Amino acid sequence: MKKMLLLSAAFATLALSAPAQAELKFKPGEDPRFNWANYEELKKVDLKGETLTIFGPWRGEDEGLVRGVLDYFSEATGVDLKYSSSENYEQQIVIDTQAGSPPNIAVLPQPGLIQDLASKGLLTPLGDDTANWVKDNYGAGQSWVDLGTFKDKDGKPGFFAFPYKADVKSLVWYSPDNFEEAGYEVPKTQEELADLEKKIIADGGTPWCIGLGSGGATGWPATDWVEDIMLRTQSPDIYDKWVKNEIPFNDPAAVNAIDIFGKIATDDKMVDGGAKAVAATDFRDSPKGLFSVPPKCYLHHQASFIPTFFPEGTKVGEDADFFYFPPYASKPDLGTPVLGAGTLAMITKDSKSARAFIEFLKMPLAHEIWMAEGGFVTPFKSVNKEAYASDALRKQGDILANASTFRFDGSDLMPGKIGAGAFWTGMIDLVGGKSAQDVATDIQKSWDAIK
């Protein structure tokens, strides 16, 4: 999520109260895409006279979108709902909780920060019933339960954080027109992807566009590559141990994943501009090669946000599309893992309205409203998929709902000096010619130096 935040513009602190009579974007009972029975259930929850404070990461346009969801809760229950955020919300939530003035609900995208709050006794457990609900209703449900489980001040694990709104990273972008003209088909396995790479090269083309440039964060796009490969070559528990440094960064499992990426990124035939261009190309510019005439590349591995940087006028689903970064046919036991990120909601100040809000997040309506507004995908299997604002978002929702395993972006779970430091710089060393083994060993040395 640190990577996503690098893309965000700075906004002033927001503190908006729901109006007495909210203007709901979709009139209850009229649009058949939404589960209006949920709204009728909400109206039975009387929260008049209560105030619910929610602090989250959404600012600017996203703040308007989440307000579109929150309005239904406040309108139906009568609660006085106040949403606020801050440009430096990670620091602000720490200040507020330590000062004894936390919001009722905090929504955060950093599991590490949530663990810190839980270990200080600043979170209210959501209970086994809610954990079981997530397990039963989300695709790869146990993965989401594990993501929301943290140790309390006594070191006892508990379910503290409800996953709400996800980002999908396991995507490969391409131009359907270019594929059709060249006679290429979307690969369903890593073996088919390797065959496609060979065919593109044999036809005189270049398979990949890769750009690792991102100012002071240069190198981060490669970490997503390595994490995706780890999930397709190793079991989820090995991935988890690697992220926690329970196995070293230079364990053969991690070295293998780094090496697979390195062999792609340092092969002049595989990457537009050759190996020297990988680190020098800004990640925002790298997908543009998909749309040049003739195409400079045919494939681009990046998360769901990347269309923001496609050429103006590009229509996702027509001019550009994506497919799921596939698993290895030779490793069927690893299923269909998905790498991503997302936000989690937790109770930082217990109240009747806070508990009612968590129950609201279990309703399809709480997801469908934002789905229809755009920029939202969910692993919730019971939502009406017709509510999605676009076919592209619907496809991403399907990827989440059908995942065998979901894992949070590994570098975001690692200590900042590693996940947002040594890992990034190590990837630049890799594309500069250093071996995967040496790169991994250097990163491990940095981890060992952390006291």
Give pLDDT tens digits for 385-430.
999 999 999 999 999 999 999 999 999 999 999 999 999 999 999 9
- Segment 59-68 shows an average pLDDT of 96
Tokens at residue 288, please? 């543009």
- Segment 105-120 shows an average pLDDT of 96
Burial of residue 246 (CB within 10 Å: 0-12, 13-18, 19+) is: exposed
Q: Print the domain residue range for 358.
A: 2-168+339-408
For residue 11, name the pLDDT band (cuts at 50, 70, 90).
very low
> Are 178 and 286 part of one and the same domain?
yes
pLDDT over 50 (residue 15): no
DSSP structural state of residue 109? S
Domain count, the chain: 2
Q: What value does the CA radius of gyration of the chain take, rounded to a whole number of Å?
A: 22
> Are 264 and 156 part of one and the same domain?
no
Question: What CATH number is given to the structural domain containing 376?
Answer: 3.40.190.10
Distance between CA atoms of residues 224 and 247, nearest Å: 19
Give pLDDT, residue 9: 34
pLDDT over 80 (residue 20): no
State which H helix or E strand residue 392 sits in.
Answer: helix 391-401
> Are 345 and 391 part of one and the same domain?
yes
Give pLDDT, residue 403: 97
Give CA separation, 171 vs 21, 115, 145, 215, in Å: 41, 28, 23, 23
> Are 142 and 228 part of one and the same domain?
no
> Are 182 and 324 part of one and the same domain?
yes
pLDDT over 50 (residue 236): yes
> Are 160 and 32 part of one and the same domain?
yes
Give pLDDT, residue 192: 98
Tokens at residue 285, please? 């510019």
Q: Identify any residues that bridge with 339 across adjacent strands, giving them in sequence order.
A: 407
> Are 302 and 420 part of one and the same domain?
yes
Give pLDDT, residue 22: 62
pLDDT over 70 (residue 34): yes
pLDDT over 70 (residue 226): yes
Provide the percentage of residues in the chain whose pLDDT is more than 90.
Answer: 95
> Are 213 and 260 part of one and the same domain?
yes
pLDDT over 60 (residue 3): no
Q: How many residues would you count in the chain?
A: 451
pLDDT over 60 (residue 4): no
- Segment 427-447 shows an average pLDDT of 98
> Are 246 and 258 part of one and the same domain?
yes
Burial of residue 197 (CB within 10 Å: 0-12, 13-18, 19+) is: buried
> Are 195 and 283 part of one and the same domain?
yes
Give pLDDT, residue 10: 31
Give pLDDT, residue 7: 43
pLDDT over 80 (residue 440): yes
> Are 32 and 154 part of one and the same domain?
yes
Strands (E), 35-120: 51-55, 80-85, 105-108
**Average pLDDT value for the chain:** 94
> Are 386 and 418 part of one and the same domain?
no
Give pLDDT, residue 12: 32
Q: What is the dihedral of CA 369, 373, 374, 379, to 10 degrees?
A: 0
- Segment 307-335 shows an average pLDDT of 97
For residue 80, name the pLDDT band (cuts at 50, 70, 90).
very high
